[in-house]
Amino acid sequence: MDASPPPAGLPGARLFDVTGDVVIVTGGGNGIGAVYSRRLAEAGARIVVADIDRNAAEAVAGKVREAGGMALAVAVDIADESAATSMAAAAEAEFGRIDALVNNAGLMSELGRRAWHEIDVAEWDRVMAVNLRGLFLCCRAVYPYMRRQGRGKIVNISSGRVFEGTPYRLHYTTSKAGVVGFTRALAREVGGDNICVNAVAPGLTLSGAQATTSPPEYVLDYDRGRSLRRSQYPDDLVGAVVFLVSRASDFITGQTLNVDGGHAMH
Ligand SMILES: NC(=O)c1ccc[n+]([C@@H]2O[C@H](COP(=O)([O-])OP(=O)(O)OC[C@H]3O[C@@H](n4cnc5c(N)ncnc54)[C@H](O)[C@@H]3O)[C@@H](O)[C@H]2O)c1
């Protein structure tokens, strides 16, 4: 146990300052991940846009650079061990460090909504491979760099479905529940390295693909159940992610922050 005096604390103005931080955003090429990438860059972070969709990653990194920010595009299938390792190595080679990893990539919008007993076994396995093994591999890939630096921030993207038991994508909901358990257990394992691991659970968010594939009546019904009575958009999630990347959350770990306009209460 550390018996040292309490840390001095940062000046208030620097608490949420992510200037110069190197942040990897997986799935950063499309949807909500593209918004995390752009907004974190606007806040001054240096961004690694990592996505299986190379063109999308390059387009987002290009937009960040055009706007005066710093960004690197990396093509990666996070379910692949060597690709995840190369992603972290590329980030370090370009920017010299890795301060944060936002584990946002996931299989969701391309999955049909169907009864649990109609889910194909191969699709079940691929969802677990991307949404859980990918999470594990990306964390493992950045760990040596964060440990060496003596600090790091990992933000895992779960889903409000976990708290609501939302049906018809059973593999997806199960994988996102796994993200919560993973977050808690990993937080305990890497706390001694001063690495914080937290999760964000978005509610139904009208991101690119989700906006076009969600039946309008489903969206309307969900929106009626929010305390804040409107639809949710990717920008609604940015504040929580910036907070969990920033120094303002330095003593918070193992937690899951629900961001859904007050739909599920957890
Ligand atoms: N949109 C919502 O309503 C909602 C709600 C809760 C949680 N989420 C979660 O938020 C995250 C982003 O959601 P979104 O709506 O932007 O989804 P999206 O499908 O639009 O984007 C997912 C991104 O991940 C990338 N990706 C997929 N497989 C990959 C792989 N193997 N390796 C690397 N990249 C890969 C895709 O290319 C894409 O850029 C996901 O984890 C999703 O599960 C979304």
> Which residues, 6+ apart, have CB-to-CB distance to 260 below 8 Å?
160, 201, 202, 203, 204, 226, 232
pLDDT at position 1 over 80: no
How many beta carbons lie within 10 A of that of residue 235, not counting itself? 13
User: Ligand 1 pocket check: which of 26, 30, 127 to mutate, most ligand atoms within 8 Å of Cβ?
Assistant: 30
Give the model confidence (pLDDT) of 6-33 as tens digits. 777 888 889 999 999 999 999 999 999 9
pLDDT at position 51 over 80: yes
User: Ligand 1 pocket check: which of 26, 52, 259 to mutate, most ligand atoms within 8 Å of Cβ?
Assistant: 52
Q: Which residues pair with 26 in a beta bridge?
A: 50
Given pLDDT bands bounded at 50, 70 and 90, which one contains residue 266? confident
The ligand 1 site (C-beta within 6 Å) comprises 26-27, 29-33, 51-53, 56, 76-79, 104-109, 130, 134, 157, 159, 202, 204-205, 207-210
Give the model confidence (pLDDT) of 175-196 as tens digits. 999 999 999 999 999 999 999 9
Given pLDDT bands bounded at 50, 70 and 90, which one contains residue 2? low
Least confident piece of the model among 4-13, 49-58, 160-169: 4-13
Supply the DSSP symbol for 247: G
Closest C-alpha to ligand 1, atom 30: 77
Name residue 256's amino acid: T
**How many helices and strands in the chain, by DSSP H and E?**
10, 7
Given pLDDT bands bounded at 50, 70 and 90, which one contains residue 162? very high
Give the model confidence (pLDDT) of 98-143 as tens digits. 999 999 999 998 899 999 999 999 999 999 999 999 999 999 999 9
The atom number, within ligand 1, closest to the CA of 129 reads: 31
| Residue ranges per structural domain of the chain | 16-259
DSSP 3-state of 78: coil
pTM here is 0.97
CA of 3 to the centre of ligand 1 (A): 42
Which pLDDT value is given to residue 21?
98
The atom number, within ligand 1, closest to the CA of 160 reads: 6
CATH topology of domain 16-259: Rossmann fold (3.40.50)
- Tell me which residue of 180, 158, 161 sits closest to 32, measured CA to CA: 158
Interatomic CA distance for residues 28 and 252, integer angstroms: 24
CA of 4 to the centre of ligand 1 (A): 42
- Which amino acids are annotated catalytic? 172
Average pLDDT over residues 152-166: 97
